């Protein structure tokens, strides 16, 4: 059986930004050890002659050509004038940065 230490569980939890109490750490230590043992067992399976597979359904993605399509061909000033507030050719918006 593969073993994982409590310190390794704490390190993994820290990386994943998870918080465990002592009882949960003990449980995770046991469960992660069992997972690693199972993975070790899978490594023993003879896969010689087995073709690598990403999925088994036979479904394929349908791709389309990525083209830029103009969505509007009018006068840009029509858009500016449609804004609630504008000045000249600029749209006025609320202040984003405060002066210090």
Summarize pLDDT for 35-53 with one digit per residue, the tens.
Answer: 999 999 988 999 899 888 8
Quick one: CA dihedral 20, 3, 30, 42, positive or negative?
positive
Q: Let me know if residue 11 belongs to a domain.
A: yes
The answer to whether residue 64 sits within a structural domain is: no
> Which CATH number is 39's domain given?
1.10.20
CA torsion angle 46 50 51 53 (round to 10): -70
28 found inside a domain = yes
Report the pLDDT averaged over residues 15-27: 95
The confidence score (pLDDT) of residue 4 equals 92
Tell me, yes or no, whether 32 lies in a domain.
yes
* Sign of the dihedral through C-alpha 13, 18, 22, 24: negative
pTM score above 0.75: no
Which pLDDT value is given to residue 1?
A: 60
């Amino acid at each position: 059986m593969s073993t994982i230490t409590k310190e390794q569980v704490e390190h993994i939890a820290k990386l994943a930004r998870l918080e465990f109490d002592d009882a949960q750490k003990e449980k995770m230590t046991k469960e992660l050890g069992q997972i690693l043992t199972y993975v070790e067992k899978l490594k023993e399976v003879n896969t010689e002659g087995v073709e690598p597979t990403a999925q088994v359904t036979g479904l394929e993605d349908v791709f389309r050509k990525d083209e830029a399509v103009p969505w509007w061909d009018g006068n840009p000033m029509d858009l500016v004038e449609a804004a609630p507030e504008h000045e000249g050719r600029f749209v006025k918006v609320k202040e984003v940065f405060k002066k210090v």
